[in-house]
Amino acid sequence: MSTRAPLWLGLVVAALVLPVYALTLAPGLTWANQSADGGDLITAAATGGVAHPSGYPTYLLLARLVQHLPLEPLAARTTWLSAVAAALAAGLVVPLVSRTTAGPRAWGLVGGGVAGLGLGLSPLLWSQAVVTEVHALHTLFCAALLYTLPLPDAPPPSHRAHGLAGLIAGLALGNHLTVALLLPAWLALSVGGAGRAWRPALGWRLAGVALGLLVYLYLPLAAAGRPPVNWGGAATPAGWWWVVSGAPYQALAFGLASALALGRVAGWAALLVAQFSWLGLLVGVVGLFFGPVRGWGARAVTLWIVGVYSAFALGYNAADSYAYLLPVFLALALSLGWGVAALLNTLAARPRRAVTVPALVGVLLVALGLNAARHWPAVDASRDRRAEDFGRAVLAAAPAQAVIVTQGDQDTFALWYFHFALRQRPDLAVVVEPLLAFDWYRATLRATYPDLPELSSGTDWRVTLEAAGRRLCDPRVDTAPALVCP
């Protein structure tokens, strides 16, 4: 069998799931699947700005690149980054399973194909593939890092390979900082089999990580241009650290109230079943503990991912914390592939293997297909026009020279998208009331709207604007009319 067969089959898997994503892709700006942050990410990329902490420089640079595609509207162009990243992550599962499966290579290849389709059609990854968010790209980076792990019976990687792997890790951290949860196991397994050469191997990997982390220099460079989306004022060292360290969200990590822990665990268990169906989960458990895995490295890193990312997601005190489970489902997809290989290896010894082997694969594919069909309506974002309708209604109703005062993520980021990214209604001003407490935001307002009077975080700022002859309007996300101007 050609050594390129897993890569070719991986491309086939990616090509199979990508049309499914295309059918369910958000047609424009969307709030579907907890993706209100999409308006901030799109606008920051389009205006050369800085997104909300931790800044996401790798994502912003890639998003800015895909925004040059000849597609309309701008939001849909950016969402295609998620779709392609998710499809590639599903495709990469095939060579990951194939290269870590002991025994007949054919079974590892078949197991990888089933696992890749399973991950690609799993509802959580699917839900993030059809909206503008960082999580699909995060999953692809995690899969790529697992692919860079050395195999126990293969020649040791070159210094260049170690450095390239480190570079991928650094860029992955520039997309989502929770990649750091994977790095201890990744580094240990990267150099664990290097013998006396472990020091240079570790050095090259760390050097690559450091090089990749230079992507965070984008934030002060972007902030220096005084863009309208400029979280933290990252042009200063203090502002840069405020963004990169995720200062506003640090209290959320492991901040879940103990009274909510039991419900969160129950939700975690339900999500596990929902991704691959009961049958797929059972096969995955078999593969995780009894599958024909080459060496202990792959199994160890899989258990590490399941443990640390589950603990982080369970303890993170936010409604969308379930998105942090995507690396867990990536790891379980690998174990699903190992389980398929284990069962095929057992059935191949039977006299009727010509019947039993295809039957098993067929049953698993049908189970995964039925599971995908059941969750299709929940993840489908193709009909969600709430954010588009809201933004257009607000801008259409706003009086000339009005100041629109927003309060939350949905109204703020949707209006930023229309006002800054699409450059509609330049006569208006959008003021985010909760951000007025920050010096950096008031400085951003002065740079963006030089005709506005100086604002403070006190209660008199509304009086100041009204005295300057500006009419204040309050948008409403869930009720009609969409804009109220007293």
Q: Are residues 358 and 409 in the same domain?
A: no
Which residues sit opposite 404 in a β-bridge?
430, 473
Q: Are residues 276 and 195 in the same domain?
A: yes
* Total Cβ atoms within 10 A of residue 120: 27
Spatial separation of the C-alpha atoms in residues 133 and 79, rounded to whole Å? 8
Q: Are residues 182 and 301 in the same domain?
A: yes
3-state per-residue secondary structure call for 367-406: HHHHHHHHHHHHHCCCCCCHHHHHHHHHHHHCCCCCEEEE
Q: Are residues 373 and 426 in the same domain?
A: no
How many Cα atoms within 13 Å fall on the side-chain side of residue 23?
8
* Total Cβ atoms within 10 A of residue 58: 23
Residue 194 has a pLDDT of 62
Q: Which of 379, 396, 412 is the last residue of a domain?
A: 379
Q: Is the pTM of this model over 0.85?
A: yes
Q: Are residues 331 and 457 in the same domain?
A: no
Residue 1 has a pLDDT of 45
* 265 within 8 A of 113, measured Cβ to Cβ: no
Q: Which of 379, 398, 424 is the last residue of a domain?
A: 379
Q: Are residues 367 and 440 in the same domain?
A: no
Residue 389 has a pLDDT of 93
Work out whether strand 483-484 and strand 403-406 pair parallel, antiparallel, or are unpaired: unpaired
Residue 458 has a pLDDT of 66
| Tally of structural domains, the chain | 2
Q: Are residues 326 and 402 in the same domain?
A: no
Going by C-beta distance under 8 Å and a sequence separation of 6 or more, which residues neighbour residue 7? 94, 95
Q: Are residues 396 and 329 in the same domain?
A: no
Q: Are residues 298 and 409 in the same domain?
A: no
Q: Are residues 105 and 219 in the same domain?
A: yes
Spatial separation of the C-alpha atoms in residues 344 and 338, rounded to whole Å? 10
Q: Are residues 115 and 193 in the same domain?
A: yes
| Residues comprising the chain, all counted | 486
| Full pLDDT tens readout for the chain, 486 residues | 457 889 999 999 999 999 999 999 999 999 999 989 999 999 999 999 999 999 999 999 999 999 998 888 999 999 999 999 999 999 999 999 999 988 888 888 999 999 999 999 999 999 999 999 999 999 999 999 999 988 877 778 888 988 999 999 999 999 999 999 999 999 988 887 666 677 888 899 999 999 999 999 999 999 999 999 999 999 999 999 999 998 888 888 888 787 878 888 888 889 989 999 999 999 999 998 888 888 778 889 999 999 999 999 988 888 888 999 999 999 999 999 999 998 888 877 766 655 676 777 888 889 999 999 999 999 999 999 999 999 999 999 999 999 999 999 999 999 999 999 999 999 999 999 999 999 999 999 999 999 988 887 666 888 888 888 888 999 999 888 888 988
Q: Are residues 205 and 190 in the same domain?
A: yes
Q: Which of 356, 379, 402 is the last residue of a domain?
A: 379
Closest CA to 310 of 261, 274, 277, 368: 261
Q: Reduce the DSSP state of residue 89 to 3 states and report it.
A: helix
Q: Which domain holds residue 405?
A: 386-484
Closest CA to 142 of 109, 181, 113, 95: 181
